[in-house]
């Protein structure tokens, strides 16, 4: 087996380095879609490479090679036994991580469904009486927006329009699906963790830009996000995605012109994911040809 089987791991590192860069410079809508696609492709290729490496130890490869050697054919192992064993352990860890990620996603969705229980099906906005400032989108059919009374009271009329436009953007563009896909990709390939963080930042930036476009006032959008951040910070709560230090970058971005699309950079990132898939497929062909030669 050639070195192609190992290259998805190298490409995972390259994608993790490129992800934060494109997140800071490119239009968030394009960057989020491209990074998510590349992460899913790369994670799939990495997992399949582990399957190939493990198959040489646990699958049909060792018996085939052993029979070929008994017949006098000089056949070498596709990969060293230690690497095959390590791949088996890595696959087991991948299975556990993916299972936990899926279980956490289902648990979150059950909690969100309970929050919507008792409200009419055509109700988009749910206002909860609470002293904790919160605002978030609840995916579903239909999608809902939950806002607490504390958050509404902290914002002025124009800022409330920004808040609602921000959350509607999450629903209309299915940002939850992008983040979930990135989360599962990281579960399969932990090297992609910086990419998942970049995607989580990008969907918030995407919603910020959509909100600014809806109210046609970038300064008002920036002011609304800043006020929501201050309110959430005093209450130690999360609102409008203000759970980390990226808030200052988001507010600063709204005080400048919208970022360019940077199609060449986006194409390059997508190429990394496609290349990982092609190399994994090539490694599969190498293994099959080697086993076919051992049988002939």
**Residue pLDDT, tens place only, 63-110:** 545 554 455 555 455 667 788 888 899 999 999 999 999 999 999 988
Binning pLDDT at 50, 70 and 90, where does residue 60 land?
Answer: very low
Looking at per-residue pLDDT, the higher value among 258 and 118 belongs to 258
- Distance between CA atoms of residues 150 and 115, nearest Å: 17
Looking at per-residue pLDDT, the higher value among 112 and 257 belongs to 257
pLDDT of residue 232: 76
Question: What average pLDDT does the segment 47-66 reach?
Answer: 68
Contact assessment for residue 28 and residue 198, using Cβ atoms and an 8 Å cutoff: no
pLDDT of residue 77: 57
Lowest pLDDT segment from 120-129, 162-171, 210-219: 120-129
- Predicted confidence (pLDDT) per residue in 196-250, tens digit: 999 999 999 999 999 999 999 999 999 999 998 888 766 555 555 544 568 889 9
pLDDT of residue 64: 47
pLDDT of residue 214: 95
Considering only CA atoms, which of 97, 76, 82, 88 is closest in space to residue 52?
Answer: 88
Binning pLDDT at 50, 70 and 90, where does residue 293 land?
Answer: low
- Distance between CA atoms of residues 229 and 251, nearest Å: 10
- Predicted confidence (pLDDT) per residue in 10-20, tens digit: 999 999 999 99
Lowest pLDDT segment from 81-95, 149-163, 238-252, 263-277: 238-252
Binning pLDDT at 50, 70 and 90, where does residue 59 land?
Answer: very low
Number of CB atoms found within 10 A of residue 149's CB: 15
pLDDT over 90, % of the chain: 57
Contact assessment for residue 11 and residue 289, using Cβ atoms and an 8 Å cutoff: no
Reply yes or no on whether the pLDDT at 273 is more than 60: yes
Residue 28, both tokens: 């968030």
Number of CB atoms found within 10 A of residue 223's CB: 19
Count CA within 13 A, CB hemisphere, residue 177. 10
Residue 238, both tokens: 């999360």
β-pairing verdict for 144-148 and 135-138: antiparallel
DSSP state for residue 141 in the 8-state scheme: S
Binning pLDDT at 50, 70 and 90, where does residue 52 land?
Answer: confident
Q: Residue for token digits 């906005």?
A: 125
């Amino acid at each position: 087996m050639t070195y192609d089987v190992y290259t998805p791991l190298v490409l995972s590192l390259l994608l993790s380095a490129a992800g934060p860069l494109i997140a800071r410079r490119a239009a968030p809508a394009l960057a989020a879609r491209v990074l998510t696609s590349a992460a899913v492709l790369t994670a799939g290729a990495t997992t399949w490479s582990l399957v190939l490496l493990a198959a040489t130890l646990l699958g049909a490869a060792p018996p085939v090679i052993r029979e070929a050697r008994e017949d006098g054919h000089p056949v070498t192992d596709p990969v060293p036994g230690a690497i095959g064993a390590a791949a088996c352990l890595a696959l087991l860890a991948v299975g556990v991580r993916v299972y936990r990620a899926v279980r956490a996603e289902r648990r979150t969705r059950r909690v969100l469904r309970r929050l919507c229980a008792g409200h009419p099906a055509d109700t988009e906005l749910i206002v909860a009486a609470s002293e904790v400032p919160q605002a978030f989108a609840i995916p579903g059919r239909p999608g809902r927006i939950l806002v607490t009374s504390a958050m509404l009271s902290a914002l002025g009329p124009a800022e409330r329009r920004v808040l609602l436009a921000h959350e509607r953007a999450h629903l209309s563009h299915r940002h939850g699906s992008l983040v979930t896909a990135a989360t599962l990709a990281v579960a399969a390939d932990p090297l992609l963790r910086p990419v998942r963080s970049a995607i989580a930042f990008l969907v918030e930036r995407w919603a910020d830009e959509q909100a600014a476009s809806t109210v046609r006032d970038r300064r008002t959008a920036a002011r609304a996000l800043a006020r929501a951040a201050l309110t959430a910070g005093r209450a130690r709560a999360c609102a409008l995605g203000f759970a980390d230090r990226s808030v200052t970058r988001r507010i600063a971005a709204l005080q400048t012109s919208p970022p360019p699309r940077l199609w060449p950079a986006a194409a390059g990132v997508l190429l990394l994911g496609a290349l990982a898939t092609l190399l994994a497929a090539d490694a599969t062909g190498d293994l099959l040809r080697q086993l076919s030669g051992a049988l002939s």
